[in-house]
Structure 1
Amino acid sequence: MGSCYLIIIDGLGVGAQEDAHLYGDAGSNTLGHVVARSRCRLPEFERMGLGNIIPLDTVAPVWEPLAAFGKMREASSGKDSTTGHWEIAGLQLERPFPTYENGFPDDVIENFCSLTGLGGVLANKPASGTAVIEEYGEEHQKTGLPIVYTSADSVFQIACDVDTVPLETLYDWCEIARKKVMVDEHAVGRVIARPFAGKPGSFRRLSDQRHDYSLKPFEPFLPGYLQEKGIETWSVGKVIDLFAECGFDHSRRTKSNAEGIELLLEVMELNNRGFVFVNLIETDQNFGHRNDIEGFAQALEEIDREVPRILKKLKPDDLLIITGDHGNDPAMPSTDHSREFTPLLIYPGNKATTMELPIRNSFSDIAVSVCDFYGLENPFPGKSFLNKQHI
């Protein structure tokens, strides 16, 4: 029995789901639009079969792909990172996490201020992180009041200049928001600390000091279940934050995709029969949310160049799964996530039931398949895509 490696390319969608119009995302196609507009080349992903999933202008379908290929439909309501990662881990949400298109209600802000001793907050509206800091950063530096904002996702975000509010104070405020304010009907998927630095006109977010405070996942969920069964679990990137630091024996946070891939390669040297859950965030965080098509394309090309190194590290019994957690189409007017199918690549391809997989009806098929891979009884909804004769 080998190891299982699950890589999430954050925000990588492959076309609008049937219900995308309900989310304002009709016509979204993150990968299709990025490839068409940038004319980027992804030769390693092409060899794996990425161009067999959907038509792509510069990534051709191949006759004998290295990986089994398909796409997955999100069954849960929502399109945020927590929902996507939780469903991948076998947790389907019947109701979406709460969102706030007009900002947070007065009682939420009053409760937050009462518990933190603050005299108020700035912004309290849905906004782009970079834009809201430019708009309110100077006032924040003068008053010390935190910038509180949300987005189309289920998030309560607090932005503070590190020279105005100490980082530990920002983290304390987020802990209070997570544990005492954003609870019950206001239990958002994530409370996020968003530190920044600089002067008006040149503020910059400090992504390496960002911290996410997620809800604790309910049981069972894939990493925790594997732990209980004696399978060693690893988190690389922001994954551990999305599961409230539950379910992992080892975790390594990252500042960039390059660092994430290097850490993955290191873990592959150390790992023996374990489960490694990786998130490569830059496509989403740095480029999707900023409508930066060229940046998104360059991030994909950087990942593509590293594919041979990853494949070379795999042992004969290992399994590699590559997918996304939602869409984030930089070619659309919105700067938020998009409700899209996600790609599915399974390497080596003969471990799958067929090279061309039918559309999966839930991201949870990954959790079911990972249980199949380790020969464990399956407690999750969904259907395995693995061929038991080859695992």
Structure 2
Amino acid sequence: MKRVFLIVLDSFGVGEMKDSAEYGDAGSNTLRAVASNKYFNTPNMAKLGLFHLDGLDDMKKENNLLGSYARMAEASKGKDTTIGHWEIAGIISESPLPTFPDGFPQELLDELSKRTGRGILCNKPYSGTEVIKDFGEEHVKTGDLIVYTSADSVLQIAAHEAVVPIEELYRYCDIAREICQGPWGVGRIIARPFEGEAPNFKRTSRRHDYSLVPPKATMLDAIKESQKEVLAVGKIFDIFAGAGITDSVRTANNAEGIERTIDYMKKDFEGLCFTNLVDFDMVYGHRNDVEGYAKALTYFDEQMPRIVELLKEDDILILTADHGCDPSTESTDHSREHTPCLIYGNKIKEGVNLGTRDTFADIAATILEYLDVKGDVAGKSFLGDILR
């Protein structure tokens, strides 16, 4: 019974790509930024080849590697969560999803206001923590929705849970998702609930993402159609709009994401468990918190022995990322970077360097080949290079 556990360390980039300057990300390297912090300690990922990745020649190496490894390049045009995950699952996006650096068109806002019965505040690119500081009081007084975006393809709606009950906010986001199609088709609509009193408003853990449906079938669809399981942890269900998923659980933070993944590991199933650990990006990367990011990676690494212990004879563990978010740069947005791919299991060769792969989609092709599933995905399988 073959199982693959694919864990996305959201935003854990490992260095700029050739075209990073075109995205304003020249020199970005999330790993280097956090590795210099005194709280960074990842011996378990090091044993899987983390510091042996291409482009990290000056970083300290681990002598006795336990896994195989690759540096992944993104073939899609973009650096956002949706496109990154879609590519991991086998879709290369030739065009970036639309962004709105000057705010959303008035026609879009008018339709959203008409259908929700509420006014609109902000309509600018904004930091999620700053926007509730600057517009939270007015929102509480008026009931108007705080609508904002970022450098990514997102429309975010922030509302105080005492003003807009959480289920009502979710309904508004459903409406926004219906409106945001075609040229307005942002990758994600994000519910951003918050609580507390001014000036100490605080975002809650009840965030919810509403993604576009992937434009074609992914490895998730292929696995599901083969009568195998696709178990989703964290925001995976949201990113794929539920397509190709057989069971899912949402999580509030990395710690819960790890625990829910472990819960799935204890169950008998054949197929894929796909996990996203969002705190690296949402809590630390976007807030330029190098120390927090370093501590979060250290915490994950400390939990890895629990995960490894539960791997069965035919299980494979893959650690990767969807983009970068260098917390040491002036930008608070995602960075276009290579990502790691660390592979471990009883059937995986030790110390195999797969070099720099042309696309994240190689992961999808490899997983499908291992699970004996046929699927029309981009990418080239590297299974033959790493399987004992």
Shorter-chain TM-score category?
over 0.9
Root-mean-square deviation (Å): 1.7
Matched letter for residue 77 of structure 1? K
Counterpart in 1 of 2:106? 106
TM-score (norm 1): 0.95
Write the mapping of 1:5-16 to structure 2, written as runs, cut at 5 A: 5-16=5-16
Deviation at 1:279, TM superposition (A): 0.7
- Is 1:307 the counterpart of 2:308 in the alignment? no
- How many angstroms apart in 2 are the aligned matches of 1:294 and 1:117? 42
The structural deviation recorded for 1:354 is 7.3
Matches within 5 A, 1:155-194: 155-179=154-178, 181-194=179-192
- CA displacement 1:67-100 (0-9 Å, x = unmatched): 1011100111111111110110111111111001
Letter in 1 for 2:150: S
Instruction: Please give the alpha-carbon distance, in whole angstroms, between the structure 2 residues aligned to 1:389 and 1:331.
Output: 34
Distance 1:61 1:321 in 2: 20
CA distance in 1, matches of 2:45, 2:116: 49
Q: Provide closer, same or farther for how the CA distance between residues 113 and 350 of structure 1 changes in structure 2, counting only shifts above 3 A.
A: same
User: Residue 368 of structure 1 corresponds to which residue in structure 2?
Assistant: 365
Deviations 1:259-295 (A, max 9, x none): 1111111111103222100111111111001000000
Could you give the per-residue CA deviations for residues 199-253 of structure 1, whole angstroms, max 9, x where no partner exists? 111100012x111111111331111110001111100111111011221111011
Moved over 6 A (4+): none
Alpha-carbon distance between aligned partners in 2 of 1:51 and 1:308, rounded to the nearest angstrom: 19
TM-score norm. by structure 2 comes to 0.96
What is the one-letter code of the residue matched to 2:187?
G
1:211 to 2:219 alignment: no
1:144 aligned onto 2:170: no
Give the counterpart letter for 1:164 in structure 2: V
Deviations 1:341-378 (A, max 9, x none): 00010113863697001211011001100111012234
Residue correspondence of structure 1 range 25-40 to structure 2 within 5 A: 25-38=25-38, 40=40
Instruction: Name the CA distance, whole Å, in 1 between partners of 2:57 and 2:199.
Output: 39
Name the SS of the counterpart of 2:112 in structure 1. Answer: helix
Deviates more, 1:61-70 or 1:36-45: 36-45
Q: CA separation in 2, counterparts of 1:224 and 1:148?
A: 33
Cα contact 1:353–1:387 (8 A) shared by 2: no
CA apart distance, 1:56: 8.1
**Tell me, what secondary structure is at the counterpart of 2:36?**
helix
Partner of 2:231: 234
Distance in 2 between the 1:117 and 1:281 partners? 32
CA gap of 1:170–1:39, structure 2 versus 1, over 3 A, is: closer
Structure 1 residues 318 and 260, CA gap change in structure 2 (3 angstroms): same
Q: Aligned equivalents of 2:220 and 2:360: distance in 1?
A: 15
Residues 89 and 366 in structure 1, CA contact (< 8 A), matched pair in contact too: yes
Q: Which residue of 2 aligns with 1:202?
A: 200
- CA–CA distance in 1 between the matches of 2:63 and 2:11? 27
Classify 1:349/1:87 alpha carbon distance in 2 versus 1 (closer, same or farther; 3 Å).
farther
Per-residue CA deviations over 1:125-156 (Å, capped at 9, x if unaligned) read 00000000000000101111000000011001
Cα drift, residue 389 of structure 1? 8.6
* Alpha-carbon distance in structure 2 between the residues aligned to 1:31 and 1:388: 26
Cα 1:247–1:195 change in 2 (3 A) is same
Aligned pairs for 1:328-367 (under 5 A) are 328-348=325-345, 351=348, 355-367=352-364
1:284 aligns with: 281
Give identity over the alignment, percent: 46
**Hey, what does 2:377 align to over in structure 1?**
380
Name the aligned partner's letter for residue 306 of structure 1: Q
Of residues 146-155 and 311-320 in structure 1, the stretch that sits farther from structure 2 once superposed is: 311-320
1:359 is paired with a residue of what secondary structure?
Answer: strand
- How far does residue 37 in structure 1 lie from its aligned partner after superposition? 3.6
